[in-house]
Structure 1
Amino acid sequence: MREELEINIPEISEGEIIDVPEILPLMAIRDIVLFPSMVVPLFVGRPKSLKAIEEALNKDKLIALSTQKNSRIENPKPEDLYKIGTIGLILKTFNISENRLKVVVQVLSRVEIKEFLQTDPYFKVKIEPCKEKEPEIITPEIEALIRTVKENIEKLLALKGTLNSEISAVIESIEEPGRLADLITIYLKLKVKQAQNLLETLDGVERLKTISKILLQEIEITTLQNKIQAEAQEEIGRSQREYFLREQLRAIKRELGEFEDIESEIEELRKKIKKAKMPKQVEKEALKQLNRLEFMHPDSSEAAVIRNYLEWLIELPWKKSTKDILDLKHVKKVLDKDHYNLEKVKDRILEFLAVKKINPKAKGAIICFVGPPGVGKTSLGRSIAEALGRKFVRAALGGIKDEAEIRGHRRTYVGALPGRIIQGIKQAGVNNPVFLLDEIDKLCSDFHGDPAAALLEVLDPEQNKEFVDHYLDVPFDLSKVLFIATANMTEPIPKVLLDRMEVIYLSGYTFKEKLEIAKRHLLPKLLKDHGLKKKLLKISDKVILKIIEEYTFESGVRELERKLATICRKIARKLAEGEKGPFEITEENLTEYLGPPEYIEELKQEKDEIGVATGLAWTPNGGEVLYVEAVTMPGKGNLILTGHLGDIMKESAQAALSYIRSRHKELQLRPDFYTKYDIHVHVPSGAIPKDGPSAGVTIATAMISALTQKPVSKDYAMTGEITLRGKVLPVGGIKEKSLAALRKGIKKVLIPYKNAKDLEDIPKDLREQIEFIFISHLDEVIKLVIKN
């Protein structure tokens, strides 16, 4: 038996009194709890229920009704039924089918099942009427409760749209709290357990209070439900209106012949997709998006996104590539024309081409040029592209902190675009350009992601053949691209990224190299840029060298180019004012063009001095000579360090002092010398920050000289890191340091034994001018440079 299909409004009347027998047949009902005064149709199909109905009809048409605790049980037992139920009077029966009845029952009152007398072929039970409690006097509180409940049930029915005058009349006619509560349950969607609790509440006032709370919840839920339905209806109405308007617009455009343009655009895009020679996977995705576009309104925002996406896929060079110039002699000639020296770099490019010539399927190389500013790293990338006959693309990575700049944004974002890698490939128009990643050491990272991590896939020949940009969401082959990165230092580059690149170091230029670069490249270019003829300017090698030495201080040639550009501008002005050339630049009139010298060389050490040692240092601008000074004075063993020194340099001084204390006997110092004196170590040019371990040998030598009161030979310059045991460890920048010594006229240079391999980087003609002395222990230095 299932719950009613409809619940009729009971006719509340004082009707005749029906005598209820003590023993009645019982029918189990599911999914519904019946309350007194209901008139409800029940559908009966279970054999036990049909037998109970038959028994009731044969007698006085009365039947006990009890709800199952679990509606899924098909053949319930007595313990599966609630003990409090109701008595129903069978008003009508209808045969629906052979074994199915529709029974209309009027519920009379609550009863308690005292005992099950039989369970087969139907339930027969002994019952006892429940004593319901109604108030003897209607107090103002009860009256207020009754009125509130009546108002709320009418409000609820009005919200549901089921309120009419008949229902209002029935509700208004009831004054007993219990009967009113029973009636209102007809209009509430109660769960079985909740309804059963109400049925078992025999106090009418308490029952009505519970109903009042449930009513308030129902009103709130129904109000929200109506609001949601209204909003949904409004949205549907708006969408339908827009649909009809669009269809009308399409019809108008079709009549005007404009709609044919959209269809022709789709067909044109289809032809372009076929012509683009995309990989099968990419072409499949492009055609899928084109099919979506075909069924969209052309003016919608999503259609614009798909159109842009398809244009990117079509314009990318999936199969287009340039043919490499594999003539090694021609390539070398182009590289030599554009850049002076840089033999290591040129050799590496020629090796790459040689491999490509023998094995055309060789993967693209990943090269990283590391060197100080102005040495030609970026222009070298452009020359390589020209020499190979490839297209050149440059992406400046300085300051990029968003991973999406490399990998692109997903198409769900407004204004999304592919990353710089795919943009560069599209700009080149071929899939094998020379791609320069400029300033790779200047990448940043924050909460947007780490762009250096995104580059790991780009710069790995094993992975970049299937590089996936977030915007494209399909793989693109980058393995044919020759990636060249540039950096000033390797320290800021993550180790995993550095490991994927072949690092080629570009050291600073010597004076001779700068002179050649100025004559071969800078001056011809500047004369052309300023509209000057070659015969108008006469400048000797000696004057150019003077500009290099006294007006520039750099490893590269940018500052030199600016100074030569200043001379060209002043000549251009003189010509514009009516003067006639040619104009000769001499050492005497150089100040007229460039002003007084900007970099005056420090005074050279003229004699051997106590406590002064000549050291060599490396800076981003090249090598430099440092005169480390040390003095002793009466004190308590304090070590004073000045000259804007960094932590590592200070630690080198501490290590030097500890070494001297451990070797006081060999140095002929008193065991307690460090308690009698304060030692002050100073490095001149105090405004310039200095750091690094390579001054360890120099500091130790100056301190030993000051303590032993023996002078240091001015003919030697030195570099090297020391340990507490006096061992000399290798350092970097040997070429730059050696050139700095040569500029000062120092011909003897002490370098760590393990740095002997670095001498190959120094040009042969300069190497022959310097006597390199290899040292492995500080004792060797003392014997050489400290005079007795």
Structure 2
Amino acid sequence: MTDAIVFEKSTYGSMILPVMSLREVVMFPKSIVPLFVGRDSSIKAIEMALDKYEKRIFLVAQKDPGQERPDVDGLYAVGTVSKVLQMLRLPDGTIKVLFEGLYRASWDHERGLMIEDDIQMVRTTALPDIEGSLMEGEALVRATHEAVEEYSQVNRKLAKETILAITSVSQPGRLADSIAPHLKATYDRKQGVLELRNPVRRLERVYELIQEEVEVFSLEKKIKGRVKKQMEENQKDYYLGEQLKAIHKEMGRDFDPKADMEELEVQLKDKDMPAEARAKAMAEMKKLRQTPPSSAEYAVLRNYVDWILALPWNVVRDVDIDIKQAQKILDDDHYGLEKPKERILEYLAVQALVKKLRGPILCLVGPPGVGKTSLAKSIARATGREFVRLSLGGVRDEAEIRGHRRTYVGALPGKIIQSLKRVSTNNPVFCLDEVDKMSMDFRGDPSAALLEVLDPEQNSAFNDHYLDMDYDLSQVFFITTANSLQTIPLPLQDRMEIITIPGYLETEKERIASDFLLPKQLEQHGLKPENLSMSKGAILEIIRRYTRESGVRNMERELASVCRKVARALVEEGDMDKTVAVTKSMLGTYLGVPKVRHGQREEEAQVGVATGLAWTQVGGELLFVEVALMPGTGKIEITGKLGDVMQESAKAAISYIRSRSEFFGLRKDFYKEIDTHIHVPEGATPKDGPSAGITLATCLASALLDIPVRNDVAMTGEITLRGRVLPIGGVRDKLLAAHRGLITKVLMPKENERDLKEVPKVILKDLEIVFVENMDQVLCEALKDVTMETLFCPTADIIPVSKALHKGHEFTSTQ
């Protein structure tokens, strides 16, 4: 027995047959296939086959299914000679034809398509199978039978009868031809099977197609199962979501988590923010979608996303810079305060040139009531920015500035970020009030947290603990206010531009009262401008006798008290058009007994009494110094609640007098026989500072030399042991106190001459300012009827002070 077998050759030879092209269909021998035919050319070919060619027709697939009547190149080279078993005409004009494949055949391309009665004809030539390996064929037949069984498990559309018919075939060629029509392979791949004449190779190709189909069906089954499971889960989620919505609706809370997430995502995409913030927010949104709404973590994530959405990352308000308009606004709102106004106008001028400038950081330092916070509001109005105020008084937790980390329950951003959210713009005027009132404890030092906020080089990347990302504060106009610099840490002071507002002069207070405060109080108390007329003398009396302050807050209260009494009088009388005139003499009726006593100069020149000038937080004051000498043993008593610096100044003055005793005509040991008592009245008021040095020395010299001190002279300056006069501060307020106390001459250090630029001319025109460099000049100007020649007489007879005390002699070197 040989390894090769001879397959049955077709009894059909070469013949001419009508041809019908097939769209995406391949006809195989020994197969019966129903087809719906609609093309006229195909219908005519079938009719011709029935009439003239014993129902035989050549079926061949066309290469391009879109061609209506393909030519020679549009048809494959191999097709199937078939028999028309049955034909049924349908109402729509198409026919249903049942074909039976007889044998594969090729057609003569060289002769091409022949036309007979407008029907395409071809000369066909049968293609019998060629010999193949018997053993390989048997092995393939068995493997294919098993593959068909497996294929039938995944493709339920195959009928059992078809499976039985296929598995009953044992010849490789016929088995391949009977399986191929039932595969879901593409028509071009089926055409490749049809063109294989070797039955073993043909069956091998069919076997490959079956395995591919099985694998595809298996994968498709997995995908369908996964999709079904996912759909079931989605249906479950949808069902539960609908139930949750119904529950919330019954409870009066309309909440749709899915719609909420979609809305948040849209807002995040539309929000103008830095790329870092957007990436952070989208990462949190991903977590939020995976977190159940009932979870505690959901609220934390949602709050965080809401904060990112609410912040004005790149929202900058347009600033319309008009220098003249800004100056008018500042002048209308505040009288005086020239330095802060000048600094603001400089900033606006520079910003108008460069278009973009880092926000300055100003620190307004001054006593209460001078208008620091209201000035910040006026700056916001003048620059066209939003205004936000944050009071730092009593803040002792660093988290108030930097925020809490999200790991804490109820965590929030710091007050800086919260305030920016409130104004919804990234370039407001930000007033940090009472920056000197912050404290620190175990929770941290808030002043250290402000170092980054108030540093123009760092605040472009301010990192809030809650946001955990950089936030740009460089365009914020920061203004801080403080009553004193002593409690502000030096590193924080270094980051700010200090502008001192020492307080208002009497002339400024009078102008503020008449132009700003009185009209404001009249409006608040329902009075018309014509209902109350207050003289300039009455306003000055309120300033001098009823208030003691650098600002105008108490003065406004006193004006409000006058307005209340006037309002009551008008209501009681029933005459709302009456005008009430308030003069200086009538203030006692409205405000009661004067509450404040300002120092006035002495009625006459006295020995051992000198007038100094002091600066307090509520302005300048006259400071009287008294010295009394008594027989004793050289003791020195200093009273008046003086501070350490002032006591040291008194001791320096005593040492100066002792070192110059011979020039004053005193014995070198004069101090051993007397006791000296130095007193500064108003002992309940603490006093300190070096500026009383020359006043103490003058008072001591007057008592020892028994020469009166001029009562119209006041002085201020620090003294050294050599008698040099050093500069002091508070010149403006001290000169105001001298003017108010009817002083006509003021002695002050030579180096303070430059400070007169800050003093109003109305004050200077009534004062004689004498600049001194040493105590010799001071004594000659302060002591009555004394010149340099009469004061210093080193050649005169020296008389012990104690002897003069006992005999009533004068304390001078001459009798």
Normalised to the residue count of structure 2, the TM-score between the two structures is: 0.65
Residue of structure 2 equivalent to 1:252: 240
Residue of structure 2 equivalent to 1:345: 340
Residue of structure 1 equivalent to 2:103: none
Matched, 1:293 2:288: yes
Residue of structure 1 equivalent to 2:427: 432
Distance 2:270 2:687 in 1: 61
Distance 2:369 2:238 in 1: 62
Residue of structure 2 equivalent to 1:367: 362
Residue of structure 1 equivalent to 2:313: 318
**What SS class does the counterpart of residue 757 from structure 2 fall into?**
helix
Distance 2:718 2:499 in 1: 25
Residue of structure 2 equivalent to 1:732: 729
Q: 1:560 aligns with which of 542, 555, 575?
A: 555
**Identity among equivalent pairs (%):** 53
- 1:248 deviation in Å? 8.6
Residue of structure 2 equivalent to 1:608: 605
**What SS class does the counterpart of residue 283 from structure 1 fall into?**
helix
Letter of the structure 2 residue corresponding to residue 252 of structure 1: L
RMSD between aligned alpha carbons? 1.7
**What SS class does the counterpart of residue 402 from structure 1 fall into?**
coil
Residue of structure 1 equivalent to 2:812: none
Q: 2:278 aligns with which of 264, 268, 283?
A: 283
Distance 2:482 2:566 in 1: 36
Contact 1:364–1:483 (8 Å) recurs in 2: yes
- 1:312 deviation in Å? 1.0
Once the two structures are superposed, residues 389-432 of structure 1 have per-residue CA deviations (whole angstroms, 9 ceiling, x without a partner) of: 10001111111111111111111111111111111111111000
- 1:545 deviation in Å? 1.2
Distance 1:786 1:256 in 2: 96
Letter of the structure 1 residue corresponding to residue 311 of structure 2: L
Q: 1:651 aligns with which of 616, 635, 648?
A: 648
Map 1:159-558 to 2 at 5 A.
Answer: 251-255=239-243, 257=245, 261-558=256-553
**What SS class does the counterpart of residue 694 from structure 1 fall into?**
coil
- 1:269 deviation in Å? 1.1
Distance 1:552 1:257 in 2: 66
- 1:715 deviation in Å? 2.1
Residue of structure 2 equivalent to 1:754: 751
Q: 2:624 aligns with which of 617, 623, 627?
A: 627
Distance 2:636 2:267 in 1: 77
Residue of structure 2 equivalent to 1:638: 635
Letter of the structure 2 residue corresponding to residue 455 of structure 1: L
Once the two structures are superposed, residues 545-596 of structure 1 have per-residue CA deviations (whole angstroms, 9 ceiling, x without a partner) of: 1111111111111111000000111122223324422222123332221112
Contact 2:601–2:712 (8 Å) recurs in 1: no
Matched, 1:743 2:731: no
Q: 1:595 aligns with which of 588, 592, 595?
A: 592
Letter of the structure 2 residue corresponding to residue 253 of structure 1: G
Once the two structures are superposed, residues 67-113 of structure 1 have per-residue CA deviations (whole angstroms, 9 ceiling, x without a partner) of: xxxxxxxxxxxxxxxxxxxxxxxxxxxxxxxxxxxxxxxxxxxxxxx
Q: 1:724 to 1:252 in 2, by over 3 A?
A: same
Contact 2:601–2:611 (8 Å) recurs in 1: no
Once the two structures are superposed, residues 179-224 of structure 1 have per-residue CA deviations (whole angstroms, 9 ceiling, x without a partner) of: xxxxxxxxxxxxxxxxxxxxxxxxxxxxxxxxxxxxxxxxxxxxxx
Distance 1:497 1:680 in 2: 44
Once the two structures are superposed, residues 295-354 of structure 1 have per-residue CA deviations (whole angstroms, 9 ceiling, x without a partner) of: 011121111111111111111101111111211000011111101121221111110000
Q: 2:767 aligns with which of 763, 770, 774?
A: 770
Matched, 1:780 2:768: no
Distance 2:743 2:688 in 1: 23
Distance 1:462 1:508 in 2: 32
Normalised to the residue count of structure 1, the TM-score between the two structures is: 0.67
- 1:599 deviation in Å? 1.7
- 1:507 deviation in Å? 2.1
Once the two structures are superposed, residues 603-638 of structure 1 have per-residue CA deviations (whole angstroms, 9 ceiling, x without a partner) of: 531111111111000000000001100111111211
Distance 2:296 2:571 in 1: 58
* Total equivalences in the alignment: 542
**What SS class does the counterpart of residue 513 from structure 1 fall into?**
helix
- Structure 1 stretch displaced more, 586-595 or 400-409: 586-595
Residue of structure 2 equivalent to 1:200: none
Q: 1:256 to 1:465 in 2, by over 3 A?
A: closer
Q: 1:693 aligns with which of 690, 695, 703?
A: 690
Q: 1:715 aligns with which of 693, 696, 712?
A: 712
Distance 1:324 1:718 in 2: 50
**What SS class does the counterpart of residue 618 from structure 1 fall into?**
strand
- 1:254 deviation in Å? 3.5
Distance 2:339 2:243 in 1: 71
- 1:255 deviation in Å? 4.5
Matched, 1:618 2:615: yes
Distance 1:314 1:407 in 2: 19
**What SS class does the counterpart of residue 395 from structure 1 fall into?**
strand
Residue of structure 2 equivalent to 1:676: 673
Once the two structures are superposed, residues 149-192 of structure 1 have per-residue CA deviations (whole angstroms, 9 ceiling, x without a partner) of: xxxxxxxxxxxxxxxxxxxxxxxxxxxxxxxxxxxxxxxxxxxx
Letter of the structure 1 residue corresponding to residue 485 of structure 2: T
Contact 2:395–2:438 (8 Å) recurs in 1: yes
Contact 1:720–1:730 (8 Å) recurs in 2: yes
Contact 1:325–1:331 (8 Å) recurs in 2: no
Once the two structures are superposed, residues 357-386 of structure 1 have per-residue CA deviations (whole angstroms, 9 ceiling, x without a partner) of: 001122110111111111111100000101
Contact 1:656–1:699 (8 Å) recurs in 2: yes
Map 1:121-136 to 2 at 5 A.
Answer: none
Once the two structures are superposed, residues 234-274 of structure 1 have per-residue CA deviations (whole angstroms, 9 ceiling, x without a partner) of: xxxxxxxxxxxxx9998533446569810111111111222
Unmatched 5+ stretches in structure 2:
1-234, 249-254, 787-815
Letter of the structure 1 residue corresponding to residue 734 of structure 2: K
Distance 1:346 1:629 in 2: 43
Once the two structures are superposed, residues 432-487 of structure 1 have per-residue CA deviations (whole angstroms, 9 ceiling, x without a partner) of: 00000111111112221111111111111100000011111111111001111111
Matched, 1:666 2:667: no
Distance 1:733 1:603 in 2: 19
Contact 1:276–1:315 (8 Å) recurs in 2: no
Distance 1:424 1:667 in 2: 68
Runs of 4 or more consecutive aligned structure 1 residues displaced over 6 Å after TM superposition: 247-250
Distance 1:499 1:413 in 2: 34
Unmatched 5+ stretches in structure 1:
1-246
**What SS class does the counterpart of residue 588 from structure 1 fall into?**
helix
Letter of the structure 2 residue corresponding to residue 760 of structure 1: K
Contact 2:598–2:621 (8 Å) recurs in 1: no
Letter of the structure 2 residue corresponding to residue 778 of structure 1: M
- 1:679 deviation in Å? 0.8
Q: 1:603 to 1:278 in 2, by over 3 A?
A: closer
